[in-house]
Amino acid sequence: MNTDINTYIEKNKDRFIEELFELLRIPSVSADPKYKNDVIKTADAVKEKLIAAGADNVEVCPTGGYPIVYGEKIIDPKLPTVLVYGHYDVQPADPLELWTTRPFEPVIKNGNIYARGACDDKGQMFMHVKAFELMMQTNTLPCNIKFMIEGEEEVGSDNLGIFVKQNKEKLKADVILISDTGITANDTPSITVGLRGLSYIEVEVTGPNRDLHSGLYGGAVANPINILCEMIAKMKDNKNHITIPGFYDDVEILSAEDRAEMAKAPFSLDEYKKALNLSDIHGEEGYTTNERNSIRPTLDVNGILGGYTGEGAKTVIASKAYAKISMRLVPHQNSDKITALFKNYFESIAPKSVKVKVTPHHGGEPVVTPSDSVAYKAASKAMETTFGKKPIPVRSGGSIPIVAMFKSELGLDSVLMGFGLDSDAIHSPNEHYGVFNYLKGIETIPYFYKYYAELNLTPAPPLLKERG
């Protein structure tokens, strides 16, 4: 164990936590315009933290939406450069009544930091700022570092996409390092090597031109809520395959060996069910739970709205019904193509008795990151050092749309070295992040830099001569 790192963390951990609390207290909800000033305030707070940690040229870069915080430490242009990406915006906290403590008043309970953004992504992003401070204070930063922390990840990163295209020189680097994913368990470290893409769509079904008495008209006109439910039900067959024509055309088929390799990851179906209080699981026939939530695409209703939902009963046939539908995509599906296929199909299955409107929201492309690169090896070695166990490569079901763009626009691979747990309840009430995980991240990140610099300096071994 590197005593430098551990000593520094031991001495400063209370402050590390208190500083994270300062960020968690600002409700930087990017989806809700009500929080506009708070989101901007958070960008300024991140800027101050980067300056205090020792970064140069720190700026809050304006965009068409929320700003991007940039900072850097270039110690020697000849050395490799790591670009750290993270996000300071968070998901809305509602439903508030399901939180046991207030979402923007962080507290520690049973070794966990409870607050919206504790894990996703303020806690994980801030580990990098504190690890950077540690390397500056202990004179151990072995390569150049750039930070790019955005405020619109939770709403699709549209402006970051533009920023990346316009600032290729500024963002020049050798690899991107991100902590916005998770590990399998605290005693089973893992590195994420795949993310799903996303196609998000809103649909509107209109029946009669006004809400109607369900007795006077019921049975004689289309009820848009009933129709919407029928249409949604039609989008999957009895094996839970998605029925949109062409939907699976581009889906990457994994080899039997790859699937066998995946199946080696530790997983207990009993514990999975128990954690979610489920009597049974559900999903596409022919695939395991781990496959269903990583290498297979999905279609899910995220919200549905229509008719009377107030107290008591109101006898009414609503004029309109709405749903928000997401499809998670896998390599080599394309979000624009899938959105178009969905639109065609949804319109084609609508009965004449209703009108439908399909409005696409944000999308994002799936990505697979290499597990044989120098940067992956550095991350693996770093985690092995601090967890005492070699991390396993896993594909995650979540999406970080900018990662595919980093590859297509900057030509850069990302290392997804996250420290969260599936049980951290990100996007849910009572989001939390383990103090263990937060400090483990701060401890692991400096090793990543150390090994990344060392491995970059080591010349590649000469190719072995082929035997005749």
Interface with ligand BES: number of residues (CB under 6 A):
17
Structure tokens at 152: 């619109």
Residues 25-84 that bind ligand BES (CB under 6 A): none
If binding is defined by CB under 6 A, does position 391 make contact with ligand BES? no
Contact 315, 215 (CB under 8 A): yes
- What's the CA gap between 221 and 177, in Å, rounded? 56
- What's the CA gap between 391 and 417, in Å, rounded? 10
Least separation in angstroms between residue 426's CB and Mn ion is 6
Contacts of 147 (CB under 8 A, 6+ apart): 50, 55, 69, 70, 71, 72, 83, 84, 86, 128, 129, 132
If binding is defined by CB under 6 A, does position 204 make contact with ligand BES? no
Interface with Mn ion: number of residues (CB under 5 A):
3
Beta-carbon neighbour count of residue 274 at 10 Å? Answer: 10
If binding is defined by CB under 5 A, does position 431 make contact with Mn ion? no
Least separation in angstroms between residue 302's CB and Mn ion is 13
Q: Which is nearer to ligand BES, 182 or 224 (CB)?
A: 182
Write out the DSSP string of 2-21. -HHHHHHHHHHHHHHHHHHH
- What's the CA gap between 119 and 432, in Å, rounded? 6
Segment near ligand BES (CB under 6 A); pick from 12-20, 32-40, 177-185, 346-354: 177-185
If binding is defined by CB under 6 A, does position 417 make contact with ligand BES? no
User: Which residue type does 354 have?
Assistant: V
If binding is defined by CB under 6 A, does position 182 make contact with ligand BES? yes
If binding is defined by CB under 6 A, does position 324 make contact with ligand BES? no
If binding is defined by CB under 6 A, does position 198 make contact with ligand BES? yes
C-alpha dihedral over 90, 94, 100, 104, to 10 degrees?
A: 40
Binding flags for ligand BES, 336-365, as an x/- string (CB under 6 A): --------------------------x-x-
If binding is defined by CB under 6 A, does position 223 make contact with ligand BES? no
If binding is defined by CB under 6 A, does position 396 make contact with ligand BES? yes
If binding is defined by CB under 6 A, does position 401 make contact with ligand BES? yes
If binding is defined by CB under 6 A, does position 398 make contact with ligand BES? yes
Which entry of Mn ion, ligand BES, none binds 182, CB below 5 to 8 A by partner kind?
Answer: ligand BES
Q: Which is nearer to Mn ion, 83 or 212 (CB)?
A: 83
Instruction: With H, G, I as helix, E, B as strand and everything else as coil, classify residue 353.
Output: coil
Near Mn ion by CB under 5 A: residue from 121, 133, 150, 431: 121
The sheet that has 432-434: what strands, in order across it? 107-109, 112-114, 432-434
If binding is defined by CB under 5 A, does position 180 make contact with Mn ion? yes
The position carrying tokens 């993310």 is 195
Q: Report, in this order, helix, strand and coil percent for the chain, each rounded to 5.
A: 35, 20, 40
> Phi-psi bin for 283: left (phi > 0), alpha (psi -120 to 50), beta?
left
Which entry of Mn ion, ligand BES, none binds 123, CB below 5 to 8 A by partner kind?
Answer: none
If binding is defined by CB under 6 A, does position 366 make contact with ligand BES? no
Q: Cα–chain-centroid distance for residue 161?
A: 16
Residues 249-278 that bind ligand BES (CB under 6 A): none
User: Which residue type does 434 have?
Assistant: G
Binding site for Mn ion (CB under 5 A): 120-121, 180
Binding residues for ligand BES, rule: CB under 6 A, are 120-121, 153-154, 156, 180-182, 195, 198, 362, 364, 396, 398-401
